[in-house]
Amino acid sequence: MSAKNEASDARAHGPAGAIESMAGIDAAQIPLPLYLPQHLRFENFEVTPRSVEIVQALKSFAEGSSPASGHPARLFIAGEGGSGKSHLSVAVLRTAGGLGFDAALIPLRLWMDRPPGMIQGMERADLICIEDIDAIAGISRWEESLVFLIEASMRRKARLLVSARKQPAHIPFGLADLRSRLNASTVYRLPALDDEGRARALRRHAMDRGIDISDEIIAYLFARYRRDMPSLMALLERLDRRSLGARRRLTVPFVRQILESLDEPPLGEAMDEVRIDSS
């Protein structure tokens, strides 16, 4: 079986949720059939002064630029949940695939209960993205498989991008070999967005969808809904669908109606606790 087919077969046996949550890309654009959210790109990632270096490094990484040392690129992105790690991982994969590189995605938080053999063959890709490696810390069969994959990818001079909530030294791996190989990566810390950054990001994604979302609506959402970006993006998609289905533009009363229909209790915070700078 070819490298492409092996990697494709491994991915095809992933959990249904992984496929459903990644629908939207034209698979013909990427040699390995990745299913990636259409809306996650470098162009719509909210870059701040604290993240500009990371984003530039990831763009160069995706395009195949080598570090000055000439060694294969190995990057490790640490950041709390909702900081944008998955957004950047998808952006890297989309960019690399668009340039003709074979790319493999290993979403460990989704796959941790699956047999590690499903990643066999992925070390032959040009670029490998391992998401949420901290999810398998202490699971010996996964740690051993990942050590093999990392060593094999290094021999083939593949590029490796790894993400986790913490830096490698602070993840309780059972295998010292896995920690040492990750420590040898260039490690970046991705800062989380503040409310102003989340508001800018939400406006940008709404604009991409052709949605007119006012500052009043954003303040209302921030007061009554979770403020992490994955939750806000999922809500934005739901608002878009409901707006199109009802043929109504988004207003605070309409958004209130949608939130009340969700199977989630509102946060119940006062609106005047949130201020969005419209400048």
The model's pLDDT over 26-37, given as tens digits with 9 standing for 90+, comes to 333 333 445 566
What's residue 73's pLDDT?
A: 81
Q: What is the mean pLDDT of the chain?
A: 79
**What pLDDT band is residue 254 in, cutting at 50, 70 and 90?**
very high
Q: Which residue has the higher pLDDT, 273 or 69?
A: 69
pTM: 0.71
Domain boundaries, the chain: 3-189, 195-273
Assign domain 3-189 to its CATH superfamily. Answer: P-loop containing nucleotide triphosphate hydrolases (3.40.50.300)
Residue 114 has pLDDT above 70, yes or no: yes
Is the pLDDT at 178 greater than 60? The verdict is: yes
Higher pLDDT, 199 or 36: 199
pLDDT in tens, 30-80: 334 455 667 788 988 989 888 999 999 999 999 986 444 444 489 999 998
**Spatial distance between the Cα atoms of 45 and 269, rounded to a whole number of angstroms:** 28
Q: Which residues are CB-contacts of 5 (< 8 A; sequence separation ≥ 6)?
A: none
Q: Which residue has the higher pLDDT, 254 or 68?
A: 254
pLDDT classification of 143: cutoffs 50, 70, 90:
very high
Question: Residue 112 pLDDT more than 50?
Answer: yes
For 170-199, give the DSSP string: GS--S-HHHHHHHHTSEEEE-PPP-HHHHH
CB within 8 Å of 119: residues ≥ 6 apart:
10, 104, 106, 145, 146, 149
